Amino acid sequence: MPEHLFLHELVFKKPAGTSRGILLNKPSWILNYPLPNGQKAQTEFPVIPGLSPDYQNHEQYERDLTNFLAEARPNLELWSKKAFLKDEVFQELLVKWEAFPSFIFGLEILIWSIQAEGSPILLESAFTRGETQIPINGLVWMGSLTDMRVQAIEKIAAGFKVVKLKIGALDWQQELLLLKELRANATADELTIRVDANGAFTPTQAQEVLQELANLEVHSIEQPIAAGQCAEMYELCHKKIVPIALDEELIGVVSRSEKIALLEQIQPQYIILKPSLHGGFTGVAEWISLAEERQIGWWLTSALESAIGLNAIVQFGAGYRLSLAQGFGTGGLYTNNFPSTLAIENGQIYWLNDSSKG
């Protein structure tokens, strides 16, 4: 079986509303890598057009990815037999390709998959042994207010104790009515509400929005204003009206010194970490370390990866003591996803095997 890199267009079951418009499909490049035992290691290089910093178009991405893999390939066998993260050649590759987070993400999964000899268990833990589960938020996708209301009620009925709603895309006063309805039916102890503005508001608007959210005891707001307004974001965080989480703000911030400068300049309450956008797992681990040193909270979330990438993100997260609900799903959005070893019940994600629901 030869090594095989191919484009896989993930097709949404229904149009997915995002801050970057309506998505009907999403590209990921899949690599199947043959193993001596006859199995295959498998990885994913995922992008979100318009958001991923390493993607301009299919032709550019595939050309750069091919060059990246050509550089990495001679060292794969060596890295798969050792603690590759400390390897000098691996570190040099990270620095050279630091502007391509999805490449680093995919390479790390590939090495883990080679080490696992093709098993879906990449990083053994209590989670993959079926001994623990991970709480997650129920994501309400952008849509009409009626559709968002239906989604939110369905999530709560399914046992989610944390729901996350996108705001700022529709009329804010109408969105606020929906949030008020959810809070009227459940106290903050019974239901945690998170919102994500994707940078929709101006700094002046954001102050008013934050006050309304505080009245509803909303847990946090992601990216209330657009990235790149550090002084204004600091002012909003400093007022501590509602805890603020940075998301898009982290994209393209790659060096340790840049990360420290951003965290210390803005001083957010939380950061949201997406390995395929924020430097792979190596980059995310550094973000976590720097955030914890500064008493900044964090959680992980997937970024529309297929089941291949999501599997790795969840297992990586399971290696930490997770005190907050994470932003994981099972990839159930797509009609043509790959098989998954993950399942969700009562707002918790668990490893799908015979003993995992004991």
Q: Please list the rounded mean pLDDT of every run of 10 residues in the chain (358 residues).
A: 88 78 90 95 96 96 97 94 88 96 98 96 96 95 89 95 92 94 96 95 96 98 96 97 97 96 98 97 97 98 95 98 90 90 95 57
- Structural domain total, the chain: 2
Summarize pLDDT for 105-122 with one digit per residue, the tens: 999 999 999 999 999 999
For residue 1, what pLDDT is reported? Answer: 55
Do the strands 162-166 and 192-196 form a parallel or antiparallel pair, or are they unpaired? parallel
In terms of domains, do 29 and 158 share one? no
Domain range enclosing 94:
4-115
Is 274 among the catalytic positions?
A: yes
* pLDDT per residue as tens digits for the range 267-317: 999 999 999 999 999 999 999 999 999 999 999 999 999 999 999 999 999
Q: Buried (b) or exposed (e) across 112-123, using 16+ Cβ within 10 A?
A: bbbbbeeebbbb
Q: What is the pLDDT of residue 86?
A: 85
**Is residue 166 annotated as part of the catalytic site, yes or no?**
yes
Q: From the DSSP assignment, how many helices (H) and strands (E) are in the chain? A: 11, 13
pLDDT for the residue numbered 235: 97
Task: Tell me which DSSP letter residue 84 carries.
Answer: G
Residues 97 and 143 in one domain: no
Q: What is the CA radius of gyration of the chain?
A: 20
Q: Are 195 and 137 in contact (CB under 8 A)?
A: no
Query: Where does a domain end: 115, 146, 170?
Result: 115
Q: Is residue 263 part of a domain?
A: yes
For residue 309, which of 86, 84, 27 has the smallest C-alpha distance? 27
Claim to verify: residue 224 and residue 279 sit in the same structural domain: yes
The rounded distance, in Å, linking the Cα atoms of 122 and 129 is: 12
What lies within 8 Å, CB to CB, of 222 at 6+ separation is 194, 195, 196, 197, 198, 244, 245, 246, 247, 272
55 and 107 part of one domain? yes
For the domain that residue 58 is a member of, what is the CATH number?
A: 3.30.390.10
pTM: 0.95
Whether residues 165 and 52 fall in one domain: no
Catalytic residue among 166, 180, 239, 240: 166
Question: In 3D, which of 221, 244, 247 has the Cα closest to residue 233?
Answer: 244
291 and 157 both lie in a single domain: yes
* Residue 260 shares a structural domain with residue 138: yes
Question: Are residue 102 and residue 242 in the same domain, yes or no?
Answer: no
| Cα distance between residue 222 and residue 166, in whole Å | 9
Cα(234)–Cα(78) distance, integer angstroms? 44
153 touches 146 (CB < 8 A): no
The pLDDT of residue 22 is 80
What are the DSSP E strand ranges found in the chain? Answer: 4-18, 21-34, 40-46, 134-135, 138-140, 162-166, 192-196, 220-222, 244-246, 270-273, 297-300, 342-345, 348-351
Q: What CATH number corresponds to the domain at position 244?
A: 3.20.20.120
Q: How far apart are CA 188 and CA 217, in angstroms?
A: 6
Provide the 3-class DSSP secondary structure of residue 280.
helix
One-letter identity of residue 189: D
The answer to whether the CB of 165 falls within 8 A of the CB of 194 is yes
